[in-house]
Amino acid sequence: MLMRLTLSVIKADVGSVGGHTQPSSLMMATVIGEAAQAVDKGLLIDSFVCHTGDDIAIIMTHTKGEGSAAVHQFAWNTFLAATSVAKTSGLYGAGQDLLVDAPSGNIRGAGPAVAELSFNHSLSDSRPAESFMVFAADKCGPGAYNLPLYLAFADPMYCAGLMLPPMIKGFRFHVIDMDHTAGDSIIELDAPADGYHIAALLRDNERFGIDRIVSRTYDEVVVAVSAQRLHAIAGKYTGKDDPVAIVRNQGIFPAPEEIVSPFAKAHFVGGDARGSHVMPLMPVPLNTPVTGMYCLPIVSCAGFSIDKDGRFSESHTDFFDNPAWDEVRRRAQSKAIEMRSQGWSGAAMLPYSELEYGGFRDTVSGLLKRFRLREERKPEAAE
Ligand code: 13P
Ligand code: MG
Ligand code: MG
């Protein structure tokens, strides 16, 4: 049977216990309950709920298509229900990512991170089994996946599978200019031919982000990323952007190990405390709270298979919950200690334009007003 299946991941930070660490168990139970009801009512085929730091992710399959008002409104109302639990319990940052009042229809741009992709789910010869991964990051800037996804989909040093016939034509990168807030401004570039152009954009994690990646051989969407800047939307500090990504894997696409291996770098991204530092991205198991020293950017990765009816396998894979990643976590922590020993100086903190706390800018603009030209060095008045 052929079905047009949509995978939607919608994630939001709507409150947390003891500071910005993790949602409460009652908040999680509320979201899980709402998602189960949406499945019972037939809105969703299946759902899975987890958290990364203080962000709750709802992972869904359905046939309503991308940007479906019904699916988006379900997610919004569910986050409102979790917000009200957070408010009742006096939790920190209740409703933080719900930036607008009652958005109608599609909630992209309203605060929560949204990644969606659709495909013909027929379990055919070219795709005899469907499997995918969901990355979710917390305390983290919007372009955190730029480098790892570039390496997995454009560099055979990381993904030797790119040299195989189904992938050798490469992948098309849709790159979004996140400074453009009135609508999505996208450029499409083909790897490997445009590889250097892609890199020239993706090196700027704060402005440009991968929006999606498409197989050039099969014209199938393989990656969808939520690439948006919350503070650009809200015009004020709102917490970090904390992106999510859906990545299909195996067969005509890279294998899971080829997709996760670039995360072994624990590369430096914007984020961390007050969304204002440059710190390494630490891969962590699902449902990890943010409790370490500093406030490290973290990323989790869940894997699923999908049966012929669009339902998730009865169990999932937690990719970063493996001793292999302990070594990376240790390295991330030691990179973090090194970087933070530099405190506020230079590369250790984000440039002023990217500081998520506008207050830092206010401090400096207050000082700028007090600068005076020295009397003895004043330029001669024009004659
Ligand atoms: P979150 O909003 O992602 O929790 O991050 C806030 C922050 O700036 C941490 O210091
Ligand atoms: Mg938070
Ligand atoms: Mg968060």
Other beta carbons within 10 Å of 175: 23
**Residue 75 domain-assigned (yes or no):** yes
Residues in the chain: 383
Q: Which residue has the tokens 């030797």?
A: 160
Residue 375 lies in a domain: no
User: Tens of pLDDT along 151-203?
Assistant: 999 999 999 999 999 999 999 999 999 888 788 899 999 999 999 999 999 99
* pLDDT by position in tens, the chain (length 383): 689 999 999 999 999 999 999 999 999 999 999 999 999 999 999 999 999 999 999 999 999 999 999 999 999 999 999 999 999 999 999 999 999 888 889 998 889 999 999 999 988 877 899 999 999 999 999 999 999 999 999 999 999 999 999 999 999 999 999 888 788 899 999 999 999 999 999 999 999 999 999 999 999 999 999 987 766 666 665 666 899 999 999 999 999 999 999 999 999 999 999 889 999 999 999 999 999 989 999 999 999 999 999 999 999 999 999 999 999 999 999 999 999 999 999 999 998 877 767 778 788 889 999 999 998 777 765 55
- CA–centroid distance, residue 83 to ligand 2 (Å): 12
Tell whether 46 is covered by a domain. Answer: yes
Structural domain contains residue 86: yes
- The per-residue DSSP string of 224-292 comes to EE----HHHHHSS--S----EEEEEESTTS--HHHHHGGGGG--EEEESGGG-EEEE-EE--TT----S
The answer to the question of residue 276 being in a domain is yes
CB 129 within 8 A of CB 120: no
Q: Which residues line ligand 1 (CB under 6 A)?
A: 13, 20, 54, 96, 138-139, 239-240, 242, 273-275, 295, 356
* 202 found inside a domain: yes
CA 359 – ligand 1 centroid, Å: 15
Nearest CA to ligand 1 atom 8: 274
Residues marked as catalytic? 13, 237, 240
Are β-strands 298-306 and 282-283 bridged in parallel, bridged antiparallel, or unpaired?
A: parallel
Q: What's the gap in Å between 245 CA and the centre of ligand 2?
A: 19
Structure tokens at 237: 């500090």
Residue 27 domain-assigned (yes or no): yes
CA dihedral angle for residue 37, residue 40, residue 42, residue 44, rounded to 10 degrees = 60
Instruction: Provide the domain count of the chain.
Output: 1
pLDDT per residue over 71-83, tens digit each?
999 999 999 999 9
Query: Whole-prediction pTM value?
Result: 0.95
Let me know if residue 17 belongs to a domain: yes
Pocket test for ligand 1, best of 11, 13, 21, 229 (most atoms within 8 A of CB): 13
**Domain range for residue 25?**
3-366
The pick from 233, 288, 295, 298 for probing ligand 1's pocket by mutation, whose C-beta has the most ligand atoms within 8 angstroms, reads 295
